[in-house]
Amino acid sequence: MNTAYPRFHLAIPVDDLIAATAFYGGVLQCRIGRGCERLIDFEFMGHQLTAHLIDAKRNEGSNPVDGNDITVPHFGMILRWQDWEVLMDHLREYHVDFALEPTIRFQGKPGEQGTAFVRDPAGNMLEFKAFREDAEIFAREDKEDAHANDR
């Protein structure tokens, strides 16, 4: 299987293509692809992210994450732990405001992860996370899972 596939394509709404280009192309250092007056493509860590210029506000909900309201929908990437730490330092160097500061969740438990949330200039929420153990990305810690081997 070719590890370059599958790749995801995600289209996001933005209200300013120049600000989107500065954030994704500048701060996150995404390669800039095709564009026109209403959209622009970015290579987002090997995937295609297309920013579409929109005029209307959108409705979104939120869920609490460690006591912070995190908008839904949101998107992001799961990185290797060391890459996540490098990215967090990079975002701090650019003085990016974190919606949720880099933190370690589920410390010492299955699925221990570093996570952080930031907003792009249009308000789209991005999550960047890393797991201590890659095999625990879908780990659960509940009674049903604890007894899975008993069946």
Report the alpha-carbon distance of residue 5 to residue 45 in Å, rounded. 13
Query: Structure tokens of 14?
Result: 């933005």
| 21: confidence class by pLDDT, cuts 50, 70, 90 | very high
Report the alpha-carbon distance of residue 125 to residue 75 in Å, rounded. 7
Compute CA distances 11 → 14, 17, 42, 67, whole Å: 10, 13, 10, 28
Mean pLDDT across the chain: 87
Please report, rounded to a whole number, the percentage of residues in the chain having pLDDT higher than 70: 88
User: What is the model's pTM?
Assistant: 0.80
- Partnered with residue 14 across adjacent β-strands are 53
Question: What structural domains and CATH numbers belong to the chain?
Answer: 1-57 (3.10.180.10), 59-151 (3.10.180.10)
Q: What is the pLDDT of residues 80-127, one digit of tens each?
A: 999 999 999 999 999 999 999 999 999 999 999 999 999 999 999 999
